[in-house]
Amino acid sequence: MRTRRLGRGLAAVVRRPPVPALLFVSMNGWAVMVWSTIGAAASHAEFRALPGAVVASSLHPTSHVHGGAATPVAFVMWVAMVLAMSPLLLAREVDRVRLSSLRRRRGSIVTVWLTGYVVIWLLAGAAVVPFVAWLGTDVRLAWGAVALVALWHCSPLRQRFLNACHRAASLRSFGVAAYRDALRDGFATGGACAAVCGPLMVTVLLAADIHLVAMAAATLALTVERYLPARTPRWRLPFVPARASEWPSARARAGLLRARV
Amino acid sequence: MVRTRCEVRSPEAADALRWYATAVHVMQSRPLADRTSWLFLAAIHGIQPSLWFRFGVIEPDVAAPPAADQRRFWNQCQHQSWYFLPWHRGYLFAFEQICREAVIEAGGPEDWALPYWNYSDTTRPEARVLPDAFAQETLPAGWESTALPDGSPNPLWVERRYGKTDPPITIGEQFVTLEALQLDDFVGGTNDIPPGFGGPVTVFHTGGGPNGSLERQPHNGVHGQIGGSRPGGNVNDPADQGFMSMPSTAGLDPIFWLHHANIDRLWTVWRRTHTDPADPRWLDGPIPRTFTMPAVDGQEWTFTPSLVLDTASSPLDYIYDDQAAPVEPVFPVGARRAERFALLSGGPARSADDGTPSAEEREGGVMGAEHAPELIGASDSAVRVNGETRAGVRLDEPRVRSLTQRLGRAMALGPVSEEPPRVFLKLEGIRGTSDAANYLVYIGLPTDATEELDPDHLAGTLSLFGVGRASDPEGPNAGGGLNEVLEITRVVDALQVSGNDLANALDVRFVPASERDADADFSISSVRVFMLEP
Ligand SMILES: [Cu+2]
């Protein structure tokens, strides 16, 4: 009952501008992703032979991202993935940038901001794609990468970047400063987003023929995570609720007791 | 049985107060780990163990409740959120039941109910003074019982309640006005312009961002005015704040519960003429945590806002002795417009332009259809407030010209013309550690105005309850700070009427509400001006 009504709430959110527009952009990203998956599968015979259900088997050392010819495909996939996954996460950000701008400049300021954001992702893609290709050469490397990404998701540093996504900067609104701030904030937001989401997207690329499923799961997890409250950076499993309070250690409390005397 | 919560100074409340003291005493004698103890209940609102140790509220060798209890119950208070009112209602209800149990066990009345403190009653001059029963260090005369013999410390008194005045603690009248009741909608508009009565849409949210109007005032203002900071102490140091000044200690002061009963009553007053959100995310929220309170027997009671809408029916079963609207009028649709035109066209006649809207105004009209706020001014840099501080807000000339033209036309033509846009001041990213601070915000004061600050220029109050936690970069708000939105339509209209057109800058002045507030040191990352088509 509660779930159903919350579902209706979600439906209301989806209908509120600019969400429909962002969803449209996202759909295009998904379309490209599906299209490139089919294309890659067609051009790599071994791809079709892979069993799809088990991640282990799909971490195939000779997936579509190996070698020269496949790299552009992987880059297109990377861009498509960004296009598919980020618009919903950006709803709040674009709102904030729009409302910090004088109306006659809204279009140009948002464009500058998005440029900064996208440039970061393209740079990240340029770095990640050859790396993924290299990881794809050996199944042990691929699994090692997955393990590192899992570790990254438990790390305080990642939580720091995630918290940075929660902390909206104030953008100046007049003169050249407005454009400078928009660009800088686009870079900063793109950077934090890439640090938070990028590594998981690497594993999506590695997941070869089930990467559409992996991508859907990743999108869901990353979107939900973004809308939850910030947490104190520290080592912990993803999605485990934060401790309600920081109870000092027995040692710290003994220290307090001594200080009192 | 429906019980009645009475005003703290009414004759009916005298007995309830005495029993309240007994119950507080009983609950205070229970250990922290007991879900029905005074400390556990306060920790549900907020606890920062290191600060509680430092204050001597708990000893370092205290037995802590199990981690699961801490996780489920503690640090739940909802602030700067549309859950502010329903969460505090459920919280108060759970507290009141546990109190009542203690009252009954001590031989008190079965229909005992928590009193409330109506500090906004302008018909009684003493309404803003802290009730006497809370101000006495030893048990008031005639309150003796077996549990509390003559000469016992008064359970309703706490040392860390400093206020902003010499005793008796008195709340400044600017901090208890009830403009909030005049807001039409529970949830605010885009960018919280206009602000809503109850607060912005959030998930489970312990603070940070913009306030709902009732939370802003009187709620936040009263917290700082009562809690204050230690005289001679540092208003920017959490260790020198009064209990009521910070969310992580507020529940430790017995007056907290009477203050919140009044806020709860004001919600009841508002909803007699307005409607709560119908949004299922609110009714059945929140995520990811649920609202969980201890029942009388220590078991868990979870609730959603939908369960606590009507106080007069089960499970709440209480009413207030006064649920009438205290401000006249609680604006019917259109009254705001009429009042506005009375001010605008009642002023000195001005030469009107020809009345045809300019291209810019037509553009504005199109936007108006969406009711989206439009930025027309912003400070060029962050503002550091430390004592009386002036900040210049740069205004966008073409848009301001269009605004003043429309104001001019409204003045000349009166109510037959289109209503000009409303104007709002937004203080974005308020960060600091001076939770107790209370400031007044003035706009458009003449540069040389130092002595008498003209109340016609008062934009509103600024109270920083919760700012410390909201500014903590490692806290749940990631250090985003607080936001504040003040409607300044009336001030701008008055400026226009008195012949002071808005030029290309607006002077914003922050004035400490008392001497003790003058040392407060906080920053505002941006001061902005928005207009909104009515
Ligand atoms: Cu409160």
Could you tell me if B477 and A166 are in contact, meaning their C-beta atoms sit under 8 angstroms apart? yes
pLDDT for the residue numbered A215: 81
pLDDT for the residue numbered A85: 81
Q: List, for residues B164-206, the tens digit of each pLDDT value.
A: 999 999 999 999 999 898 888 999 888 889 999 999 999 899 9
pLDDT for the residue numbered B435: 96
Question: Is B528 close to A173, i.e. CB distance below 8 A?
Answer: yes
- DSSP H helices, B177-245, are 213-214, 221-227
B102 has a pLDDT exceeding 90: yes
Quick one: tokens of A258? Answer: 């001594």
Q: Which residues pair with B120 in a beta bridge?
A: none
Question: Is A231 close to B374, i.e. CB distance below 8 A?
Answer: no
pLDDT for the residue numbered A16: 67
Q: Is the dihedral of CA B373, B379, B382, B383 positive or negative?
A: negative
A220 has a pLDDT exceeding 80: yes
Question: What domains can you pick out in chain B, each with its CATH number?
Answer: 3-320 (1.10.1280.10), 367-532 (2.60.120)
Q: Residue B518 and residue B408: Cα distance in Å, rounded?
A: 38
Residue extents of the structural domains in chain A: 21-256
pLDDT for the residue numbered B293: 97
Nearest CA in chain A to B191: A99
Q: Which of B74, B474, B525, B533 to mutate to test the interface with A (most CBs of A within 10 A)?
A: B474
B382 neighbourhood in chain A, CB within 8 Å: 170
Query: For a pLDDT cut of 90, what percent of chain B falls above it?
Result: 69
Per DSSP bridges, beta strands B318-320 and B3-5 are parallel
Q: List, for residues A154-211, the tens digit of each pLDDT value.
A: 999 998 898 888 777 889 999 999 999 999 999 999 999 999 988 988 888 887 667 7
Question: Is A170 close to B284, i.e. CB distance below 8 A?
Answer: no
Helix axis angle for A175-206 and A139-153, nearest 10°, is: 130
pLDDT for the residue numbered B19: 95
Size of interface A-B (CB pairs under 8 A): 135
Q: If you average pLDDT over residues B392-420, what whole number do you get?
A: 89
B452 has a pLDDT exceeding 80: no
Question: Is B73 close to A244, i.e. CB distance below 8 A?
Answer: yes
Q: If you average pLDDT over residues B62-80, what whole number do you get?
A: 92
Question: Is A99 close to B373, i.e. CB distance below 8 A?
Answer: yes
Could you tell me if B7 and B113 are in contact, meaning their C-beta atoms sit under 8 angstroms apart? no
H or E segment to which residue B71 belongs: helix B67-73
Would you give the DSSP letter of residue B117?
-
Query: For a pLDDT cut of 70, what percent of chain B falls above it?
Result: 93
**Residue of B94, B457, B127 whose CA lies nearest to B291:** B94
Q: If you average pLDDT over residues B325-350, what whole number do you get?
A: 61
Question: Is A170 close to B428, i.e. CB distance below 8 A?
Answer: yes
Would you give the DSSP letter of residue B129?
B
**What are the b/e assignments for B135-169, b being 16+ CB within 10 Å?**
beeebbeebebebbeeeeebbbbbebbbbbbeeeb
Higher pLDDT, A8 or B412: B412
Collapsed DSSP state (helix, strand, coil) of residue B60: coil
Cβ contacts of B161 within 8 Å, gap of 6 or more: B130, B134, B169, B226, B227, B228, B242, B243, B244, B253, B255
Q: How far is the CA of B236 from the centre of ligand 1 (A)?
A: 20
A32 has a pLDDT exceeding 50: yes
Question: Is A229 close to B477, i.e. CB distance below 8 A?
Answer: yes
Q: What is the DSSP string of B282-322?
A: HHT--SSS-EEEE-TTS-EEEE-GGGGS-TTSTTT-EEES-
Per DSSP bridges, beta strands B505-512 and B438-443 are antiparallel
B458 has a pLDDT exceeding 80: yes
Q: Residue A12 and residue B75: Cα distance in Å, rounded?
A: 30
The beta-carbon neighbor of A6 closest among B73, B280, B377 is B280
Q: List, for residues A60-95, the tens digit of each pLDDT value.
A: 444 444 444 456 777 887 888 888 888 777 877 888
B363 neighbourhood in chain A, CB within 8 Å: 103
Report residue A40's pLDDT band, with 50, 70 and 90 as the boundaries: low
Low-confidence winner among A88-92, A134-138, B303-307, B326-330 (lowest mean pLDDT): B326-330
Report residue A128's pLDDT band, with 50, 70 and 90 as the boundaries: confident
Q: List, for residues B199-238, the tens digit of each pLDDT value.
A: 999 989 999 999 999 999 999 999 999 999 999 999 999 9
Phi, psi at B290, each rounded to 5°: -105, 160
Cα–Cα distances (Å) from B78 to A196, B86, B203, B261, B325, in that order, read 27, 9, 10, 16, 25
Q: How far is the CA of B256 from the centre of ligand 1 (A)?
A: 7
Cβ contacts of A172 within 8 Å, gap of 6 or more: A178, A180, A181, B378, B380, B381, B526
Polymer length of chain B: 534
B422 has a pLDDT exceeding 60: yes
pLDDT for the residue numbered A243: 58
Question: Is B478 close to A100, i.e. CB distance below 8 A?
Answer: no
A1 neighbourhood in chain B, CB within 8 Å: 284
Q: Which of B78, B428, B524, B530 to mutate to test the interface with A (most CBs of A within 10 A)?
A: B428
Q: Which residues pair with B430 in a beta bridge?
A: B482, B524
Q: List, for residues A241-259, the tens digit of each pLDDT value.
A: 665 556 777 777 777 666 6
Mean pLDDT of chain B: 89
B478 neighbourhood in chain A, CB within 8 Å: 163-164, 166-167, 230
Report residue B412's pLDDT band, with 50, 70 and 90 as the boundaries: confident
Would you give the DSSP letter of residue B436?
T
pLDDT for the residue numbered A48: 33
Question: Is A163 close to B473, i.e. CB distance below 8 A?
Answer: yes
